[in-house]
Structure 1
Amino acid sequence: MDDGISFGFRLDELVLNRSKGAILKGKWEISGGGMLLLDPEGNRIQASAKDIYLALVERRPSEPWIPTVADGLRASRYPLSSSLAIVDSGEGIPAYAIIGSAREVTLELDVADLERGYRIADGVWHPVEPEAAQEVLDLLYSTGASIGPARSLRTFLAVRKAGAEGGAVDDQMADKTISPLAFTPPADGVPAGVNATLHAYQLAGWRWLKFLLAEGIGGLLADEMGLGKTLQVIAALSDSGDGLLRPALVIVPGSLLENWRREIARFAPHLRVLKHHGPLRTGRPAELHGYDVVITSYDNAVGDNSLLNMIHWKVVILDEAQFIRNPRAQRTKAVKRLRRDSGLAMTGTPVENRLLDLWSIMDFVIPDHLGDVKSFEAQFSDDVVGAARLEPLVSPLMLRRRVAEVAKDLPPRIDIPQVLELDEDDAAAYDAERERIMVEYGAAATLVALSSLRRFCAHPSLIAGNSATSDPMTFSKFRRLDEIVEEIFARGEKVIIFTSFTAMADIISRHIETRFGAFAGIIDGRLSIDDRQPLIDRFSAIQGGAALILNPKAGGAGLNITAANHVIHYNPEWNPALEDQASARAHRRGQKLPVTVHRLLVADTVEDVVDERLTRKRALSDTAIIGIEGKDDDYGDIVAALNRSPSRRVGK
């Protein structure tokens, strides 16, 4: 047997009593899980595991006076190989236990067993393999873990990482989802300095964020859209435990800068806030130091990266964190360079396109937690199986609640899909454009190549190039839009209309203003960031019917437009996450009325294929991690779109 861990006196240093040449025998004394050796003079000695093994197993003790038997005790020849196990505590949180195994024997050990090198259980003395024991002891000491329920998330992550790297860890919860709230200590009370009444789930979110920041680690707040992620983060900025969480840097899409400034002023007016934006923004770090919270855009995080990196931020917060889903993008690299104690990410769609999106966000939250890009892609396939395998690794760090689960008090949302058909002439014109694409692109066609078919389904005049002069009411889909808007305005209510085509937004706006004499504002890439919130304010202040026409990319993220209780998706998007974000602009906290969501869809066209794609991708997102879009090289969808013909239905 190899040398064990020895504590106490060496036996060969003892002075033995001998009488007339006769060797006096000692005695073994068993106490709990340990053993003491009584020498002939009655002195208690802590013997090493090696000396016990030599005496009781090999029957050749290191000294002749040491007895080779112990009353009522049997010695095992097989040492226990120990590991640090992550087990289910039964309290909703994981726990640590030391497990020793040899042949068909499995015992739960404690630190004292490892230190002395053996364990006595059920009348059997079990030696502990010394190298594995030392590895477990080193792991406990280096991570700060202790046997029993896990109380520190940072320690838990360190233990799990050690196991992933081949350490002596038996993760019995590797395939189980661990609630991120499991580690958060239960507490009463509300955030200090916040002028709002938080719902129960928002209070839980605030305590979770506060817990993370106290541990000096990051997290991903991935609540479904409309549940008040911004308010929860403002609560953490206002009350994070000991003192203000300053300096804090909040990075947002440019269109949300003013919204964040207003929300902080509304909910936590005691915080000193600077909107770092525009041509007159400071270039001196000392001026940034004078504020509790600095709000800037992703573009400025790139352009002013050197300036922002002169400050060590207490926390860096990313709103709409899907903006860094591409690990190779300049803005992704820029925000990850920022010096910070903690990183918090906020997004309702942590995965929009592929699992690598989530890797990129988590690499900001806790760098290296999921390894590098190459090892991640090799380990996690980009499908339902890969998502299910990934979820246990990210679940302790990602708080994700759905509206249906926690916001029972939200008014109902009514989804009304409306499938429309083309008349014979329009169907023939659509097929002509479809055949042109097939001839021009063939097998090289991409989703982008299909954009002309999508424009046709919005309005044929977008293809003909006469959208400014033609009568929009000649198209059946537009006539249905007109009917829906007329009904909404007759009730004195407001509507948000989403279309991804600039020319279509202009057509809709002109028609509503001319036919109904109502306000019809447009938010898309043509409207400056600073002018977007004032336009929403103007829309919200109107009494009676009004419309906002939005591009889902410009107006689908972060904006709060609860003045409208109707949403119309005029043309479906390839990306379900984009469409879901857009709908949530109206169906969210602050909405008092039921929200009706209309989806207009032209049958047997590319829009049918888009709708089928959305259904398929949503089914994937519901398995584990929300919001998977799909890739632009999804050849099956392209083939389906190019082979779908409205003329076949018309001809029946």
Structure 2
Amino acid sequence: MAYRIKDGMLEQDGILLEAEHLFSLGRISAYSGTEEVEMVISKRPTRIHFEFEAEPTPHFLLFFRGQPLDAEQTHSLTKYDYFISDGKRLHFVSSHLSDLLTSAFGELPLPKLMKLLRTLHLEGFMDEFPSHLIEVLRSNQQKLAQHDKLFVKSLYPYQEEGVNWLSFCAENGVGTILADDMGLGKTAQVIALCCDVLEKSPNSKVLIVVPNPLIDNWVREFNFFAPSITPYLHYGKNRRGVASAFDDHSVVITPYTTMTSDITMFEDVYFNLALFDEASMLKNPKSTRSLSARRLDIGVTVAMSGTPVENSLMDAWALTDLVFEGFLGGQESFKSRYVHSNLSETLDKNLEELESSLRQITLRRMKKDVLEQLPEKLDIHTAVSLGESEKIKYEALIDEMQHDCQNGGGGILPLMNKLQQFTAHPALVESTIPHDANSLIKSSAKFELLMMQLDKIVQAGEKVIIFATFHKVIDLIQGAINERYGILSGVIDGRTPNDERQSLIDTFSASEGFNVLLLHPRTAGMGLNITAATNVIHYCRQWNPALEEQATARAWRNGQKSVVNVYYMYYADTIEEKIDERIRLKQQLSNRVVSVTDDKETDKQIMLEYLEALGS
């Protein structure tokens, strides 16, 4: 019945003993080789300290009272829940710590490793949360994305780094948040990620969920970056209501509204990768769309958001838990730790730990970080999808114009003006639409996209100038901004006295953070210096490219020290898209040397050619 110490463990009659059996013994004699020693068995669970090293391969080291455990002690502890120190003192650990040890020294896929690391850090078993873990592991394994066959465009170096990072996450089952600054090309990076996933596994299925106004823009972006991939658009009245509709398609694009209404169909399909564009729309975890998103059967989830935290730290929890369930713990435990803490005592500590955790799964680069790789001006052309009611009204206007043409075309110019007003906002031609912000958003997809873009600019604390053609639409935008953001935008159009214009610009330039100037492209598109703005939005499109160039030059000019984002909004599959294509082509052909003209007959001819093409 003698006890014997062998390889750092206790055995009796050749049988290794469990910690539970030893704990009941108290004090025993045991042989270590030929020497008999008195063994003292601790009555209290021992606290073990962890250290994690990512190189050369990920592994844990264990420490007791500042001293590292050797291989025998580590094996005994992880296998039998106890170890012997000084050759004569036996220490056991609690069942909770035993579970943590089992996880740490077992087979750990990367998501479980990351959860374990955060748990160890939060519970005080590990001092430092390893920073940039994914990048370290990816670099060690020299993993690069494989998208060259399907992705046909070039990426900036920082975008290539982003795709490599996203690819590694996807390959290892880690959900992530792509939170790059506005204008840094999140769409290009995730399309490259889709190509990477499909090149590695051609039978994979990708789901992309987007805001309604951006449906057509995503289709066009795929056509630009990866033309061999034709996304299946699940949207509208003619969509099929069965999951088999997706069988022959590798990429499915759907808006949030359709995902929510068709969730019972979507949850029958396994998606290897899911991308949520403008993912701040899911920041309320109790909303119908968030609950629907969580019902999807997804391998890896990527949330795209330039503003991962808008109003509350709960925004960060909601997005993180969407892409990586449980990484930040449960909602209530997170809330009790961060949201209701005594800020004066614990905010700094809490945020440091939280930021460290978020950095593990969030990729965020700001323009200032990659300035040398960027051009001075980022042109961002965005196709806006007409809403169902807008589409019906647009087609009715086109029918009216075609009918006019068949009868001599005498009324084409007034109808063109009416069409331009309609594409600015239906409220310009329909007096029944209320002028509050929500009603304006609901009745115009372009207006909805404008407000979404302004939300991002608000979060970035930047300034923006918006060009709009009609006085009434300028007033509508000004009212909505006042209601939504609590600021009164300056306006420079034909109603603004000349002697007041510079003071409006000075006030705008001197203000701190977010601000808006609303400009008419003809009245205020020349001669003004507004380099305080780093964003330009062409809300109403001009049919003359030189007018838009002149307008953009209010912000993008000598004295501008920052990259300028220039947003061109146009309705997909309408005359606006033809104008956008014409302007881009003309800019290329003329190398930006275009005379400023105001030729209504030219505009009329463009419209007539468009109508003729529709009828052919």
Q: Give the TM-score, by structure 2 length.
A: 0.59
User: Out of 295, 304, 307, which is 2:262 matched to?
Assistant: 304
In the aligned structure 2, how far is the partner of 1:387 from the partner of 1:31?
A: 47
In the aligned structure 2, how far is the partner of 1:214 from the partner of 1:360?
A: 23
Q: Where in structure 2 are the equivalents of 1:318-333 lying within 5 Å?
A: 318-333=276-291
User: Out of 501, 506, 522, which is 1:476 matched to?
Assistant: 501
Q: Name the CA shift for 1:242/1:58 in 2 (closer, same or farther; >3 Å).
A: same
- Residue identity matched to 2:136: A
Post-superposition offset of 1:357: 1.8
In the aligned structure 1, how far is the partner of 2:31 from the partner of 2:49?
A: 36
Please name the residue that 1:125 is paired with.
88
Q: Name the CA shift for 1:284/1:485 in 2 (closer, same or farther; >3 Å).
A: same
**What residue ranges of structure 2 are gaps of 5+ in the alignment?**
379-459, 465-480, 506-518, 553-565, 596-616
Post-superposition offset of 1:406: 4.0
In the aligned structure 2, how far is the partner of 1:372 from the partner of 1:47?
A: 38
| 1:454 paired to 2:488 | yes
Post-superposition offset of 1:450: 8.3
Please name the residue that 2:177 is paired with.
220
User: Out of 548, 565, 584, which is 1:540 matched to?
Assistant: 584
What's the CA shift string for 1:343-362, capped at 9, x where partnerless? 21112221122222222212
Please name the residue that 1:232 is paired with.
189
Please name the residue that 2:8 is paired with.
33
| 1:146 paired to 2:109 | no
- Residue identity matched to 1:186: Q
Q: Name the CA shift for 1:529/1:252 in 2 (closer, same or farther; >3 Å).
A: farther
1:313 is paired with a residue whose SS is strand
Post-superposition offset of 1:291: 0.6
2:221 is paired with a residue whose SS is helix
Contact 1:317/1:344 (<8 A) preserved: yes
- Residue identity matched to 2:194: L
Q: Name the CA shift for 1:404/1:100 in 2 (closer, same or farther; >3 Å).
A: same
| 1:155 paired to 2:130 | no
In the aligned structure 2, how far is the partner of 1:54 from the partner of 1:373?
A: 40
| 1:97 paired to 2:61 | yes
Q: Give the TM-score, by structure 1 length.
A: 0.56
Post-superposition offset of 1:179: 4.2
| 1:170 paired to 2:125 | yes
In the aligned structure 2, how far is the partner of 1:356 from the partner of 1:239?
A: 32
Q: Name the CA shift for 1:214/1:513 in 2 (closer, same or farther; >3 Å).
A: closer
Q: Name the CA shift for 1:488/1:530 in 2 (closer, same or farther; >3 Å).
A: farther
Q: For the pair shown, which has the larger CA radius of gyration, 1 or 2? A: 1
Q: Name the CA shift for 1:53/1:526 in 2 (closer, same or farther; >3 Å).
A: closer
Q: Where in structure 2 are the equivalents of 1:348-497 lying within 5 Å?
A: 348-381=306-339, 385=348, 387-406=351-370, 408-412=372-376, 448=483, 454-455=488-489, 457-458=490-491, 470=495, 473=498, 475-477=500-502, 485-486=525-526, 497=536
| 1:282 paired to 2:246 | no
Post-superposition offset of 1:81: 3.9
Post-superposition offset of 1:389: 3.6
In the aligned structure 2, how far is the partner of 1:514 from the partner of 1:195?
A: 28
| 1:246 paired to 2:290 | no
Post-superposition offset of 1:255: 3.1
- Residue identity matched to 1:172: D
In the aligned structure 2, how far is the partner of 1:105 from the partner of 1:519?
A: 70
In the aligned structure 1, how far is the partner of 2:217 from the partner of 2:176?
A: 23
What's the CA shift string for 1:14-57, capped at 9, x where partnerless? xxxxxxxxxxxx896x66535678x8xxxx775777999999x8
In the aligned structure 2, how far is the partner of 1:394 from the partner of 1:249?
A: 24
What's the CA shift string for 1:562-609, capped at 9, x where partnerless? xxxxxxxxxxxxxxxxxxxxxxxxxxxxxxxxxxxxxxxxxxxxxxxx
Contact 1:119/1:128 (<8 A) preserved: yes
**What residue ranges of structure 1 are gaps of 5+ in the alignment?**
1-10, 12-25, 420-445, 460-466, 490-494, 500-504, 548-652
Identical residues among aligned pairs (%): 22
What is the aligned residue count? 448
Post-superposition offset of 1:369: 3.1
Please name the residue that 1:191 is paired with.
147
What's the CA shift string for 1:277-309, capped at 9, x where partnerless? 333333332222221001122232233333333
In the aligned structure 2, how far is the partner of 1:369 from the partner of 1:294?
A: 27
Post-superposition offset of 1:251: 1.0
| 1:202 paired to 2:159 | yes
* Pairwise CA RMSD: 4.9
Contact 1:221/1:398 (<8 A) preserved: yes
- Residue identity matched to 1:221: L
Contact 1:53/1:127 (<8 A) preserved: no
What's the CA shift string for 1:92-115, capped at 9, x where partnerless? 9974233445xx877464133443
Q: Where in structure 2 are the equivalents of 1:34-53 lying within 5 Å?
A: 34=9
Q: Name the CA shift for 1:27/1:473 in 2 (closer, same or farther; >3 Å).
A: closer
In the aligned structure 1, how far is the partner of 2:33 from the partner of 2:22?
A: 10
2:237 is paired with a residue whose SS is coil
In the aligned structure 2, how far is the partner of 1:52 from the partner of 1:333?
A: 49
In the aligned structure 2, how far is the partner of 1:58 from the partner of 1:449?
A: 73
Contact 2:328/2:334 (<8 A) preserved: yes
Q: Which has the higher helix share?
A: 2
